[in-house]
Structure 1
């Protein structure tokens, strides 16, 4: 039985996940939560105000938000929680309408490293961003069964249960109708869904498929949460909640709390909205200068700063226990992971461990060490990138989940709440 916790946080996470089928929706929903907490949106093309209060900037599928407490000086260090907004999925190609043998299909490109079998025979919607002629964008979210990637019947592949092999070009195109493909049919449909006058208003798009099955509690006691995009919107939601909580409490003049939610982590972070780009560096720099600081103040602020890179990690799998390190078997419901890899796939070191465990102790949150088997290399995160790009000491953490990179992932219902509490303590450390 899971220990008692405030289920309202997980309920709100479920709503956030359902409303955020794309990075652009995730950023819009995080921004709305911050606006409700009194934060002000800044335009990158405007001059920035350096006075006390909460602010945020949005660029595509990325968001940087921070809160300047009363009494903070230009050399006040930052406490950054970093996460990413993107998830592996199927994304539409530039000419999407295609089809064969009497079926209308959509041509897709595989984004990141999806578990392809999890996208088969699943009802899918379409979501993303439309770029409009004359400037501006519109979000579109078709959250009803629209697409399906049909699996081949076992009668036509008797060996399928001995190992499924999918050709990434030939076997991943979803069907969405009958008959011959028609040029611009999808854009005509999406223009109507987005409330536009015609498809002629659309000059470009960033569109993707998503599972329309809503997040749900599982189990007799509702101890589990099944949902899409836990990797890594669970962390984005927790960080947003922690920053809003810090702002409500007034923060501490010794640190400026920051949330950095980046796009494109799943394919290397090298973009203008990824962790490898300049967005965080420029935002922190401009905030120092807006508060009357100099390059010297910026260098001092960064030298005293710390980053908590949060991304979901692997809970021990009950059916594949041998795939985990025998002495490091983090369990669902056991609190956030402290991720370690001496080859810098994770940025954690002994100092980072001390900072994170102090936050967990302050918040009365349990934590668990995670390290991979030597013969099964781990993935990586924005942590090492952030540390190297900005010279900010960084520790890698995250909530333990199962089915990572599936169209639908699984975690303990309590773990998002525990992670958010640890983040709040990190952003507002005890004096």
Structure 2
């Protein structure tokens, strides 16, 4: 899995004891000397040799083609909490950040931990590390309620701020690592992540592993660029966040993201059977999530109609197409529909709002659950800010998290309904 997810030229393996001084040697460079000598000492104390001797089966080291260290993740399977796996320390070469390296390491750790019978992953960060806060919440981690609330700002451990980091206040645990060392505590449920075929993990003798006996649920997410998660630097979008945050209940969940940029309802209807049905074999609990509409309301710059105001798909045609698609799909498997989100263009927003109302009515008639997100997102300044910080149309990580939060409740109910 790691090999497939990492950028070209990078290779992942298990660390060895002689890797410890190599990792320590790159820390000060990667952290740009943050904290001076005291900061350097603190980081070195977090990575004693024991982690490279006794926790290698749950840790990873990534190297460039020339053998230099590119990234690492030090994790462990808690010996005192048999349901918990813990991520202790992660580092990525600054030149590789926002290339999916850390996310690939985390996903590998999730899959390994799930195979070892662990149902939860935990880790911590300092309240000032807003980049870490944004990264972990994007991967489905939740902030565990603490006993203090702290301000977070644009400062990221004293370094330059990055887009899509959260702002405001966050709960933390007072003196978690000693006097004055407050920490944000993250928890993330494991959701039956399948074992990976390329893992080099050696199974610890103490890690019981049994056959998977839960539901085999397969879900196709069919839609446009919002479904695909365009604009999200974490590459998760709202679909990935839903899958990552789904509570563990014995479900073996497989999701297929079939979003294509610029596609309208007409184009999506034309491909739904050829795209979805081969991924939904007989004998499994198959489901479909639909989300489209924004592209239907778009007026192209080269529109030659009077006034240049004709959308790509007229309202009535868009509604009729949605009805046809829902009828066809609903006769074969359970369907959930997520409505189109708002943008920054008020003229187009009026068309999106009208389409949202009509989609909701169609779903109500066909007894298909519908999640309207338009009004809720339009009322959130963070949504508009996330759009403005990107390409003006698609949100960043913060916006997709807002969207995922709105869909999560109906999504969980949808998964718990009986399939056909």
Normalized against structure 1, the TM-score is what? 0.28
Specify which structure has the bigger relative contact order, considering alpha-carbon pairs within 8 angstroms and separated by 6 or more residues: 1
Larger Cα-atom Rg: 2
Higher helix proportion: 2
Higher strand proportion: 1
